[in-house]
Amino acid sequence: MSEQPRKLAKVRGDTPTKKGNKWKKKCDNNNNPRRSGQNVRKKLNNTKSKELPGRRVNEDIKGETNTFVDGMYRRVEPYDYSFNCFVKGRWIGKSLIDVFSKEFQANTREHYERAISNGLITVNNRRVLPDVKLKNNQQICNTVHRHEPPVCSSAIDVILEDDNYVVVNKPASIPVHPCGRYRHNTVLALLGHEQHKWGLYTCHRLDRLTSGVLVFAKTVSAATVMEKALKARDVKKTYLCRVVGKFPKKCTCTEPIVVVSHRVGVCSVGEEGKPCETEFMRLSYNASTNTSIVECKPHTGRMHQLRVHLRHLGHPIDNDPIYNCCEWDQSVEEVVEAISARRFEMDETTACRPYDPTKMREGCVDCRKTYKDPTKDKMCIHLHAWKLSCSIGTFEAPRPQWSIVDNAEEEDNEEDGEENQVQEREAETESNNVNNTFTNFTCSVM
């Protein structure tokens, strides 16, 4: 046997077989063959997710930047941040610039080319050319000067706190955990920054624009208990929403829901979707605005379930930017493209510029861009997680102002009017029947 294979085997930790012409990989204590780096990493990640359910934000991020309240907005000072990830399977063999320009469309291809050339995007901590081909197990690092969008300045009120759980009333416009362009302007991070509640675990989530009851766990065991209860559907949720038109008094929707676009976050009713069930009950109707306050009880937890079912029933949430837009008259593909394009529209203002000129970064696109601050009505949708009932208790968040409308009397009068009309029709029908009977009897006697 040549010396080169023997040296290679020594480096790899392999051992020769009895025949001497083949090399056998070392096995672990359980006599399982050694795994590749990618499989080992996947196994560790899976183990970690089982041990640590939900997501959490540690106190380590505290020194990255500062958050502050500016009128109706809660803002974050721009800060340096590095995104790290391993090459995904679908990226293998593709050029670095092609992956960034197609997978991350928040910036242009030219922007990513400049970032790669300036060393802000690296592969295995090395500067590379934009057209380098990606390989398995490589690590990509993207360093950015991060500008987070503002969120509403409403306080995150604590409904309950004990040794295991923290239950809060989540304001609209704030994401639950770090995602996308949000890291510090999230419920998890703000609870740490403002109330010193670091290291909480998410038990479930609400959409960014949705408000209401939200449960966090303080320990892994508490998070596991809530996770099992959610999977067993032992957690009962009740939502409030304001929809277009006069909603039926009661109805149930069981249409399956399919995710049309993960990138944009759009779902639709479809036969190939997952089974869903939602119960609806109208609480009131306002004729002057042609809107109804509806109570919703989902029996499953699909993405955008309530919003999609309401859209399917012909009564979308009145200010829903996705499911109550004119694009739904077109095909689903055209809807996705229209919503995607609308999300990147920008207007001239000074809202997202750094508040300290010394913190502006040369070459940072966001330092030169100007975005429009969202208006108050654009920072929420009329959907509120009103009540949540589970083994740890029953919790209720105060009803938002948009759901408290002085139209109960109008609703009752309307219902009474309809009932009176029905009774009048029934009385008229009965009177006609009596007259017909008397006429027939008279004719028969004569």
Pure H helices in 213-303: 220-231
Catalytic residue (choose from 98, 207, 320, 406): 207
Residue type at 190?
A: L
User: Could you tell me the two tokens for 272?
Assistant: 């190939």
196: left (phi over 0), alpha (psi -120 to 50) or beta: left
Sign of CA dihedral 229, 231, 232, 233: positive
Cα Rg, the chain, nearest whole Å:
30
Q: Beta 139-146 vs 201-202: how paired, if at all? A: unpaired
Query: Which contacts qualify for 346-351: CB closer than 8 Å, 24 or more apart?
Result: 346/370, 346/371, 346/372, 347/371, 347/372, 348/372, 349/373, 351/150
Spell out a b/e string for 80-89, using b for 16 or more CB atoms within 10 Å of the CB, else e: eeeeeeebee
User: Could you tell me the two tokens for 378?
Assistant: 């654009």
Asked about 377 being catalytic, the answer comes back as no
The CA-atom distances, in angstroms, between 362 and each of 84, 101, 359, 365, 383 are 22, 22, 10, 9, 41
User: Could you tell me the two tokens for 112?
Assistant: 């990513």
User: Could you tell me the two tokens for 322?
Assistant: 């996705």
Which residues on neighbouring strands pair with residue 432, listed in sequence order? none
> CB neighbours of 374 closer than 8 A, spacing ≥ 6?
149, 150, 173
Q: What are phi and psi of 273, to 5 degrees?
A: -80, 180
Supply the residues annotated as catalytic: 207
